[in-house]
């Protein structure tokens, strides 16, 4: 699928992109023989995304083109980033195609020299965060995303791969630049004086209090250690509800440019934190009490079901002893071995849940106090109302971080939510 | 220092080595103008080691030459290993020269194409294990080795390096083949049916019992997970008393070909386990009760002092906030920040101690039940006497593995020793 020409990188605009795509046979065939139009629709920080469409009424099919820019868009040209991240995104999308067919957009064409990928256009899908804010629910979502995390993480962990195969993959997928963004913007800068931090002006006191909370700072530093050192599995690396596209019956995972070997709890915790942020934001976004209660119950259930699906699928994979993992079937071949093996699997998953709580706690806090907030909070125009929600979120995050070791079931994550909001 | 000729690799013998060294100016100058002799003295499994000496009475100085072989010597030609490991050994020796001058042999010449390094000959030094078995003590050792682990590990951890710098080094120092040896021979094969395992025939029942001990198998699997996934610092990777050369006043760390990014507790636990094995072996090797008690007390103190030095030096380094580590000084800049920072450092070191216990537990067990035992045990000709010691070691290892979380001071490691031996 790769374009082997060694043309020099250039950032496309809508016009130059169409000329470029016309020269790529597989793409031209899909778009068909009409006058194409391209619209830049990206809202990410480091890439541009185009929808390229054939003329209305013609026989072609639209495609999506994503191109990495050589800088971080939100910060302007003075924050250079290499385009290396597109290499990671392409590798991840192709891996998803193998491991979880249908859970990511299909890859049509890749052009590493342009840091560009042409993908299936998901006409019926929406980025999940918006519809969630509007109170819509997605009955298949928890099963889909839980399976996605389980399958992709298990297959890239030491439980499935031999030591040498795993280490080779860790080297190939080392992603220092994108990891550094998360290190700084999730784990460090929000917790200290740093010029790019932004927050709700009504939150000044809370931010000062959080940053002077010794126990919380210690727990966040430990969460950062786990993020930095635990090469457990090849993660998505930015699995919030803006990296998920949904319909009533389908779920697609997009934007895996942050993919790296990290703790599984980072992906799950990021998702759980964003579900909880969304949940609390319905106090504003869903004024009707009954509708709001229904949405909150769905979000709570979604969190628990995502974990349960993840844990079930991960555990099933492990029981099959496929591949060449760390403890082969023979390791458990003794009287009482099946029970010990079950105990081992449960213990492993219990630790992933603990990690999810502490990683998710940092994700929640950074969305209040760091450089990048989320639409759920940013869209609230009443700063005092927003601060009430954010104050509760900070208290929940504190529980997730400080009581992580006591969280033994996914429901315990919700106990913290319910006790804080009263 | 590198020889840039691209000669083809060949394994030297004593004669061909002398011809080769004659062509290397820096080496020839050190050896001087006499008739040199070379003697192969290696007792490792994957390398040959030569002492090359000038003629007696001549003015030259001897050197040591270490050359990696393309197979694992103990298993014969059918177990191929690449010579890649010499690249790791050379990089580690050069790093030690920078970070802990004088704690490793000085490097005179490296020849990557021959997988060969020429080093300072340590005329007065002995490999530590032998003199320890003979009941000799080394008053500076704990301070030296504790400082060595602290300095090398701190400088290569996320506490000193930026995320990108650390990840770049993790990629450079990925060492899958040598790690696989430890994965198999330390953490997996000893714990299950595997044809290359060997043990004292009087130990059959114990080996069967250990392998059917569900709780122990679970704890060992968790220790292997930590070994496989925690890229905390650049370790030596095989830090037992056969990788240390000593005099009464000096300590040198040798053989770092296993160097890789792993949990600091692996290096410390390996060393602690070997000190405890040595300690118990004096029941046979030091028949005089008073002498034995003195040696045992020294070994106990050595373990505690090694930890204490390590912890003190590591903590001092961290307090200086040099480099570009995970939590900069500004992260702790708040009322109560110094106390929180102290709490963080103590918590970090507490986890390293827990890791040391469980990693050390696996090291002890594999020396009883795996492919490579240690001279302390192998030299005991009375199998029943040997089995008594080994049975106690297995019980100590079990305590270190199962009670690791309760080990909060280095003395707790010794409490397990003393309670087992009664």
Tens digit of each residue's pLDDT (9 = 90 or more) over A162-211? 999 999 999 999 999 999 999 999 999 999 999 999 999 999 999 999 99
- pLDDT, residue B82, reads 76
Model confidence pTM above 0.90: yes
Average pLDDT over residues B365-379: 95
- Its domain, for residue A269, covers 126-421
A94 in any annotated domain: yes
List chain A residues with CB under 8 Å of B225: 158, 326, 348
Q: Are residues A59 and A151 in the same domain?
A: no
User: Nearest to residue A416, comparing CAs of A363, A358, A368, A374?
Assistant: A358
- pLDDT, residue A7, reads 73
List chain B residues with CB under 8 Å of A346: none
Of the residues A120, A155, A176, the one at which a domain ends = A120
Q: Give B117 to chain A, closest Cα distance, Å.
A: 26
Q: Are residues B252 and B380 in the same domain?
A: yes
Tokens of A151: 């399958």
- pLDDT, residue B372, reads 85
B72 in any annotated domain: yes
Do the Cβ atoms of A229 and B224 come within 8 Å? no
Whether A74 has a pLDDT exceeding 70, the answer reads: no
B238 in any annotated domain: yes
Q: Are residues B231 and B349 in the same domain?
A: yes
Do the Cβ atoms of B337 and A192 come within 8 Å? no
- Mean of pLDDT over chain B: 94
The residue among A219, A227, A228 with the most chain B CBs within 10 A of its CB, best to mutate, is: A228
A283 CB-contact burial (10 Å; exposed 0-12 / middle 13-18 / buried 19+)? middle
Cβ atoms of A221 and B326 closer than 8 Å: yes
List chain B residues with CB under 8 Å of A170: 170, 174
Do the Cβ atoms of A214 and B340 come within 8 Å? yes
Cβ atoms of B121 and B106 closer than 8 Å: no
Q: Are residues A158 and A220 in the same domain?
A: yes
- Mean of pLDDT over chain A: 94
DSSP summary character for residue B107: E
The CATH number for A49's domain is 3.30.200.20
Tokens of B223: 């220790």
Average pLDDT over residues A110-138: 96
- pLDDT, residue A343, reads 98
B124 CB-contact burial (10 Å; exposed 0-12 / middle 13-18 / buried 19+)? exposed
d(CA B74, CA B49): 15
Other CB atoms within 10 Å distance of the CB of residue A386: 25
Tokens of A374: 């989320």
DSSP summary character for residue B185: I
pLDDT tens, residue by residue, B172-200: 999 999 999 999 999 999 999 999 999 99
List chain B residues with CB under 8 Å of A158: 225, 228-229
Whether A2 has a pLDDT exceeding 50, the answer reads: no
The CATH number for B365's domain is 3.90.1200.10
d(CA B181, CA A167): 14
A2 in any annotated domain: no
List chain B residues with CB under 8 Å of A347: 218, 222
**Measured in whole angstroms, how far is the alpha carbon of residue A182 from the centre of its chain?**
12
Q: Are residues A354 and A291 in the same domain?
A: yes
Average pLDDT over residues B11-21: 95
Q: Are residues A161 and A257 in the same domain?
A: yes
Do the Cβ atoms of B229 and A331 come within 8 Å? no
Cβ atoms of B393 and B277 closer than 8 Å: yes
B293 in any annotated domain: yes
Average pLDDT over residues B313-337: 95
Q: Give B214 to chain A, closest Cα distance, Å.
A: 5
Q: Are residues A247 and A332 in the same domain?
A: yes
pLDDT tens, residue by residue, A265-293: 999 999 999 999 999 999 999 999 999 99
A7 in any annotated domain: no
B2 in any annotated domain: no
Cα–Cα distances in angstroms (integers) from residue A408 to residues A162, A347, A350, A355, A413, in the given order? 29, 10, 6, 11, 9
Whether B79 has a pLDDT exceeding 80, the answer reads: no
A3 in any annotated domain: no
Of the residues A64, A85, A120, the one at which a domain ends = A120
**Measured in whole angstroms, how far is the alpha carbon of residue B68 from the centre of its chain?**
18
d(CA A251, CA A94): 17
Whether A71 has a pLDDT exceeding 80, the answer reads: no
Burial per residue of A62-92, b for 16 or more beta-carbon CB atoms within 10 angstroms, e otherwise? bbbbbbbbebbbeeeeeeebebebbbbbbbb
List chain A residues with CB under 8 Å of B232: 229
Do the Cβ atoms of B188 and A331 come within 8 Å? yes
Q: Are residues B23 and B152 in the same domain?
A: no
Of the residues B99, B120, B141, the one at which a domain ends = B120
- pLDDT, residue B2, reads 43
Q: Are residues B307 and B391 in the same domain?
A: yes
Average pLDDT over residues B397-415: 98
Q: Are residues A227 and A116 in the same domain?
A: no
Do the Cβ atoms of B167 and A188 come within 8 Å? no
Q: Which residue of A has its CA nearest to B342?
A: A218
Do the Cβ atoms of A224 and B326 come within 8 Å? yes
Q: Are residues A74 and A154 in the same domain?
A: no
pLDDT tens, residue by residue, B237-262: 999 999 999 999 999 999 999 999 99
Average pLDDT over residues A72-97: 79
Q: Are residues B108 and B135 in the same domain?
A: no
**Least CB–CB distance from B171: residue in A171, A336, A340:** A171
Backbone φ and ψ for B244, nearest 5 degrees, come out as: -130, 135
d(CA B390, CA A57): 82
The residue among A234, A331, A337, A344 with the most chain B CBs within 10 A of its CB, best to mutate, is: A331
Q: Outline where DSSP puts E strands in A56-182.
A: 63-68, 107-111, 116-120, 126-127
Of the pLDDT bands very low, low, confident and very high (cuts 50, 70, 90), residue A28 is: very high
Q: Which residue has the higher pLDDT, A43 or A262?
A: A262
Average pLDDT over residues A83-102: 95
For chain A, how many structural domains are there in total? 2
Q: Give A245 to chain B, closest Cα distance, Å.
A: 31
Sign of CA dihedral B66, B70, B74, B77: negative
Do the Cβ atoms of B214 and A339 come within 8 Å? yes
């Amino acid at each position: 699928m790769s374009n082997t020409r060694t043309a020099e990188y250039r950032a496309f605009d809508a016009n130059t992109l169409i000329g470029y795509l016309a020269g790529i046979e597989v793409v031209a065939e899909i778009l068909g023989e009409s006058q194409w139009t391209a619209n830049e629709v990206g809202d990410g920080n480091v890439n541009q995304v185009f929808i390229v469409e054939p003329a209305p009424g013609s026989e072609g099919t639209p495609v999506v083109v994503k191109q990495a820019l050589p800088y971080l868009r939100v910060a302007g040209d003075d924050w250079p980033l290499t385009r290396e991240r597109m290499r990671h995104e392409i590798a991840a999308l192709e891996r998803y195609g193998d491991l979880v067919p249908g859970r990511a957009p299909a890859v049509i064409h890749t052009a590493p020299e342009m840091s560009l990928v042409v993908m299936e256009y998901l006409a019926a899908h929406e980025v999940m965060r918006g519809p969630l804010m509007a109170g819509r629910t997605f009955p298949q979502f928890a099963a889909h995303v839980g399976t996605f995390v389980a399958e992709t993480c298990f297959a890239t962990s030491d439980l499935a791969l031999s030591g040498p195969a795993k280490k080779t993959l860790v080297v190939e997928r080392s992603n220092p630049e994108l990891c550094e963004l998360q290190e700084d913007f999730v784990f460090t800068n929000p917790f200290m004086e740093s010029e790019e931090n932004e927050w709700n002006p009504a939150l000044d006191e809370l931010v000062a209090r959080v940053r002077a909370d010794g126990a919380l700072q210690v727990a966040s530093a430990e969460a950062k250690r786990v993020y930095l050192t635990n090469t457990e599995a090849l993660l998505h690396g930015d699995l919030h509800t803006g990296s998920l596209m949904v319909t009533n019956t389908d779920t697609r995972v997009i934007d895996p440019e942050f993919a790296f070997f990290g703790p599984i709890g980072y992906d799950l915790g990021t998702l759980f934190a964003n579900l909880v942020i969304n949940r609390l934001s319905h106090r504003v976004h869903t004024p009707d009490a009954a509708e709001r209660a229904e949405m909150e119950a769905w979000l709570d259930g979604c969190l628990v079901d995502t974990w349960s699906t993840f844990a079930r699928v991960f555990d099933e994979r492990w029981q099959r002893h496929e591949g060449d993992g760390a403890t082969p079937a023979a390791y458990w071949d003794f009287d009482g071995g099946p029970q010990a093996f079950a105990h081992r699997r449960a213990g492993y998953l219990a630790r992933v849940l603990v990690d999810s709580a502490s990683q998710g706690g940092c994700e929640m806090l950074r969305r209040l106090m760091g450089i990048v907030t989320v639409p759920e909070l940013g869209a609230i125009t009443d700063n005092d109302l927003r601060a009430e929600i954010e104050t509760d979120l900070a208290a929940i995050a504190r529980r997730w971080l400080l009581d992580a070791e006591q969280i033994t079931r996914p429901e315990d994550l919700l106990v913290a939510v319910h006790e804080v909001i009263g």
